[in-house]
Amino acid sequence: MKAKAAGVNCIEVSGTGWFIDDNGNFAPSEEEANEMMQKVKAAADKAGIDIWSVHMPFGKIMDLSLVDEAKRKKVVANHKKILRYLEILDPKIILFHPSYYIETPFRRALHLSQLIKSAKELNPKVRQIGATMVVENMLGPELTVGDRQRPLLRTVAEVKQVFQRLPESIGLGVDLNHISHPEALILAMGDRVLTLHVADGTGKAEDHWMPHPCSGLGKNNWNKIQEALYEVGYQGPFLYETSDYQSLNQLAECYQTLYKSYLTYLKK
């Protein structure tokens, strides 16, 4: 109720890792899974808030790009099983991470192919529950970190490479904290940008700050981001992914601050 009163109209449901145990097996019983999803849906309905999107489980054991085919198939099967219960939430968007870190050198191209295979297998199931599948761009200021490569979709070029091989019905979720100059990614992907994770950062770490005009932190150019969103005809919500705020009222207030700044920018 407080969220709705503060101007929050929709949310993304995360925390879906609850479905999967540490061994990569589906954890809850059918009754437990149904009950949990019904409670989430009832709470959202009571508050008058739409469930716009669901963030699917991610990490090493839920990596859609696994090279081991048996393990990849298990990951896809678990995602499909979760989707059966997510239908209760009636989400518009189902968001997936493209991969975990690439731990074996020189196998990035193979991981890319495995991701594409998994996405093509999952897309019909996502569409079956009345939702749209999106894949999120990942953090990647440089290719390697330690002795591992960064997850897939770390650059504009790599995002374009993958999406050229995916069905048009699969969209991109742009995390504005994961890449320097995110407006370039938005413009490059056009109408395939279907949802956002709104946060500020440096493009070098998982900062997830409130936008710079509201927090004083981060390097995103929010006027250029809004300009890019208007140019590609983005129709989705301004969906924050940050804990860097003191009250729910700050979320709507920050949006208004950014919008007013953009209007001033247009007059120059």
Buried b (16+ CB within 10 A) or exposed e, 171-185: bbbbbbbbbebbbeb
195: tokens are: 């949802």
Strand, helix or coil for residue 52:
strand
What average pLDDT does this structure show over 230-235?
Answer: 98
Instruction: Please give the average per-residue pLDDT across 15-39, as a whole number.
Output: 96
Element (H or E) spanning 253, and its range? Answer: helix 249-267
Give the model confidence (pLDDT) of 68-102 as tens digits.
999 999 999 999 999 999 999 999 999 999 999 99
Longest CA pairwise span in the chain (Å): 59
Q: Does the structure show a pLDDT above 90 at 105?
A: no
Evaluate the CA torsion angle 149, 152, 153, 156 in order and state its sign.
positive
137 has a pLDDT exceeding 90: yes
Structure tokens at 62: 């839920």
Q: CA torsion angle for 156, 157, 159, 161 (degrees, to 10)?
A: 160
> Cβ(189)–Cβ(172) under 8 Å?
yes
Confidence at residue 93, expressed as pLDDT on a 0 to 100 scale: 98
Overall CATH class of domain 2-267: alpha beta
Q: What span, in angstroms and rounded, lies between the C-alpha atoms of 25 and 186?
A: 36
30: pLDDT confidence band, cut at 50, 70 and 90? Answer: very high
Could you give the percent of the chain with pLDDT greater than 90?
94
Contact in structure between 131 and 91 (CB atoms under 8 Å): yes
The continuous run of DSSP H or E covering 149 comes out as strand 148-149
Cα–Cα distance, 231 to 185 (Å, whole number): 12
Query: Which band of pLDDT confidence, cut at 50, 70 and 90, is reported for residue 2?
Result: confident
Specify the pLDDT at position 95.
98
Query: What pLDDT was estimated at residue 248?
Result: 93
Contact 19, 82 (CB under 8 A): yes
Please report, rounded to a whole number, the percentage of residues in the chain having pLDDT higher than 70.
100
- At 43, which amino acid appears? A
What would the pLDDT profile of 148-173 be if each residue is shown by its tens digit? Answer: 999 999 999 999 999 999 999 999 99
Q: Is the dihedral of CA 70, 75, 79, 81 positive or negative?
A: positive
Over range 135-147, report the average pLDDT.
95
- Using only C-alpha atoms, the chain has a radius of gyration, in whole angstroms, of 18
CB 76 within 8 A of CB 122: yes
Q: Give the confidence band of 1 by pLDDT, cuts at 50, 70, 90.
A: low
For residues 39 and 37, give the distance between their C-alpha atoms in angstroms, rounded to a whole number. Answer: 5
Residue 268 has pLDDT above 80, yes or no: no
Please name which of 213, 203, 198, 205 lies closest in space to residue 243, comparing C-alpha atoms: 198
